[in-house]
Chain A
Amino acid sequence: MTAPIVQASELARFYTVKGGLLSKPATVKALSGVDFELRPGKTLAIVGESGCGKSTLARVVTMIEEPTSGNLVIDGVDITPSKWAQMRETVQIVFQDPYGSLNPRQRIGQILQEPLIINRRDMSAADREARAREMIELVGLRPEHYDRYPHMFSGGQRQRIAIARALMLNPKVLVLDEPVSALDVSIQSQILNLLVELQERLNLAYLFISHDLSVVKHFADDVIVMYLGRAVEKAPKEKLFAAPRHPYSKALLSTTPRADPEAQKDRIKLEGELPSPMNIPKGCAFAQRCWLATEKCRAAPPELSGADHKVACLHPLG
């Protein structure tokens, strides 16, 4: 097994929200204690519903935000804000919304060259252009697209441009923050196939953030299921999809639409709402909505445990 390129332990990110004049400032625990390892050529998927801290995790790993606590080691370097600048070339990100992620005033060529202009000052203009043109080809765009503006492209093409820009610096890790959820289904598969192809060719490590389980099933090697800022289950894809052990994972999987009308409809409907991240319950965060919860669950949060297929639950399934 190759050495991990990204190692995170106990990563946490809290936000302080100032209340009114009289109320105390509250703390939003967007991400509280997540561990993972990411290896070259592999894809780690993070799934969960809105507000579970997936995007915060992406922003912490991409060094846009500083973690409140915990360790992040990327490519053997312990990350602190002073190391951000030198590590930019290692980790790059592709955003969800391809309409907002490209500067509308720059041509595609300029957009692609910008990372090089900033980070490779000694590179000649001709080399930069050659590299940008090469990258345009690599992501499946045509050479004449080089001189166009972003508004002349469709969503799928824009996402290809965003991927090309992320790859300009030869990163080792690509954070994909819901890269296909803004695209329509036929385009989604094209972009996913492109990502698979690029991963094989460049031996990239992907941190794939998604809420779409069918995409994850197609794409990931390992999966972490998150609930309210914590990992509740962590397993290789095959094991998780075959037999989820956390009740929340099971409920999540049961809601994935299947293309088989004969199949049993055993969708699990969760009652209630996601608790507020400002006021996380003392015990298991999922206990309020869980059909297996007991008094013990509400007392203390369960730890993520297990060998290969880890689960944070006192009453694991299966």
Chain B
Amino acid sequence: MAELSATPPKTEDRPSALREFWYYFSENRGAVFGLWVFSAFVLCAAFAPLLAPYDPTEQFRNHILQPPAWQEGGSWAFPLGTDPLGRDMLSRLIMGSRYSFFVGIVVVCVAVTGGVIVGLLSGFAPKWVDTMIMRVMDIILSFPSLLLALVLVAILGPSLTNAMIAIAIVFQPHYVRLTRASVLAERQKDYVTSARVAGAGKARLMFKTVLPNCLAPIIVQAALSFSTAILDAAALGFLGMGAQPPTPEWGTMLAEAREFILRAWWVVTFPGLAILVTVLAINLMGDGLRDALDPKLKRS
């Protein structure tokens, strides 16, 4: 190779993967905003016991259905008011973030791990195994997701853990399909053949050669379904099939406060707003993630 420049460039700094990722991610303003809100949400969940002014299950019998501080009759002792049992709304929302975060992480981890492994197997398996797996996934996909989750929880018994299991099962087929599609596309490429010629076994081909090249769409899907998981958990909570009272889970809080919707707006509005903001932030972030991880959108 002829040296083009007279002075060889001093080992030019190759932008690290993280720097490059941040460069593309930060171009999307909404995504950055989403990331900040999401970080605040994570911190809130991590330090919930320190941030919450009261125990979320403590009942203040003298302050039942007290409005937020800025409204007539409210006080700064309970900035967002209290619920029908006299519990502090702010403390409950802060503690509730823990449950939502927990639901999101557990559901996504279970669904991604299971989905990716089944998808990889199905992409590499002989045709009849592949067909069998895909038809089972099609059957799961053909049910409305919330309905299926509801049925599963009804079978397993209502609790937050069972709700998470149910939601994870409902989400699984998306990852299986996504992984299988990427695997089938990548398998055709020459680098996989050359790994085979180098003597790589099936397991090495699957997990070391092909899987890393399939990850981008899966990461994005994971980020997006994090919010859907929270939403579904809230919906199951609202229907009485998720977290059971007095757990301060946002969906359960909504369900409990249903009858006060006309008398005390704050009891329903704040948990709803919390769900809305969190889901919006995560979706915005997932959008940016997709742009930043898609190599086709990169310019260099």
Using a CB–CB distance below 8 Å, which chain A residues touch chain B? 62-64, 85, 88-89, 91-93, 95-97, 100-105, 114-115, 118-119, 140-142, 144, 147-148, 151-152, 157, 162, 165-166, 169
Contacts and interface: CB of A to CB of B under 8 A. Distances in A.
B197 interface: yes
B62 interface: no
Interface in B183-238: 189-191, 193-201, 204, 209, 212-213
Given A95-B190, A118-B201, 20 more contacts: A63-B197, A64-B196, A89-B199, A92-B198, A95-B193, A100-B190, A101-B193, A102-B191, A103-B195, A103-B212, A104-B191, A114-B198, A118-B199, A118-B204, A142-B1, A144-B11, A148-B14, A162-B194, A165-B194, A166-B194
Contact of A104 (B11, B194, B198, B213): B213
Contact of B193 (A64, A141, A144): A64
A92 B197 contact: yes
Interface residues of B, number: 20
Interface string B230-273: 00000000000000000000000000000000000000000000
A95 B194 contact: yes
A62 B11 CA distance: 38
Interface of B: 1, 11, 14, 189-191, 193-201, 204, 209, 212-213, 295
Contact of B199 (A102, A119, A140, A148): A119
A306 B189 CA distance: 41
Contacts of A102: 191
Most chain-A Cβ atoms within 10 A of its Cβ — which of B1, B189, B190, B194? B194
A141 B197 contact: no
A31 to B, nearest CB: 18
A62 B189 contact: no
A88 B196 CA distance: 9
Majority secondary structure of chain B interface residues (helix, strand, loop or mixed)? helix
A59 to B, nearest CB: 8
8 contacts: A62-B197, A93-B193, A93-B197, A103-B195, A114-B200, A115-B199, A118-B204, A165-B198
A103 B209 contact: yes
Contacts, number: 66
Given A95-B190, A105-B213, A165-B194, A141 B199 contact: no
Contacts of A148: 14
A162 B198 CA distance: 12
Contacts of B190: 95-97, 100-101
